[in-house]
Amino acid sequence: MNNEIKRLLEPLADEDAIVSVYCDDLARDAFLLGYLLDVDDSDLLLNLLSPGGEEDGFAVVAGDTVFSVSEDRPYSAKILKLAHLKGQKKRTIPSTEGSPLFDLLAWAQTHQTLVMFNRDVNFTGFVESYTDTSVTLLQVDDYGKEFGRAVVDLAGVEFIRCRSAELKDIELLHRAGKAGLDGIFIERGN
């Protein structure tokens, strides 16, 4: 991670400030917005907020993919106001592993919640195990169905999402399938 960016972010991790994180060179107007929960030399951990002020899970972003951060105060103030009006609260993940990346993986494994790597639905699943270099996932598709296992090399990971609205929906479908509720909601025309 760029040292100047890290110096800007470190004090913000102890505040309730929200930051905009830009990490896509191809879409320079695309960014993540959220509470900065933790930052180290390699990664940062955010509790994301949607453009409508809804709490939208967690993300770990590889520091070397971040090309800009901002405290865009007018936009942030708008989002914080919406979040407050909607009763949204900052959520945290305990620091148990000593790094944002491993804190998120430990939390996701403990809470049996889906993670998505690099915005790729093919690398979405439940964390079964992890080491310093890889993660083993029980893969789950968009319909909540398990379809195998994958090992993800952490060296290639730029971004991990957890507890987003999209992933919560997939978890709900997964639980329904496990409970034998697949297909009972489909009504046929009269």
Q: What is the mean pLDDT of residues 164-188?
A: 83
pLDDT at residue 184, rounded to an integer: 61
The backbone torsions φ and ψ at residue 20, rounded to the nearest 5 degrees and listed phi first, read: -100, 130
pLDDT band of residue 3 (cuts 50, 70, 90) is confident
pLDDT over 50 (residue 32):
yes
Confidence of residue 7 (pLDDT cuts 50, 70, 90): confident
Pairing mode of beta strands 124-130, 18-22: unpaired
- 83-142 pLDDT, tens per residue? 999 999 999 999 888 899 999 999 999 999 999 998 666 689 999 999 999 999 999 999
Instruction: Tell me if 17 sits within 8 A of 71, measured CB to CB.
Output: yes
Residue 26: the pLDDT is: 56
| pLDDT score of 187 more than 60 | no
Q: How far apart are CA 12 and CA 97, in angstroms?
A: 21
Which of 62, 76, 75 shows the shortest CA–CA distance to 5?
62
Task: Give the per-residue pLDDT at 190.
Answer: 47
CA 56 to chain centre: 8
What confidence tier does 186 reach under pLDDT thresholds 50, 70, 90? low
pLDDT single digits (tens) 33-88: 999 999 998 999 999 999 999 999 999 999 888 888 887 678 888 999 999 999 99
How many C-beta atoms lie closer than 10 Å to residue 68's C-beta? Answer: 12
pTM value is 0.88
Give the residue among 1, 124, 104 at the shortest CA–CA distance from 57.
Answer: 104
Q: What domains appear along the chain, each with residue ranges and CATH number?
A: 1-92 (2.30.30.100), 95-181 (2.30.30.100)
Q: What is the pLDDT of residue 25?
A: 61
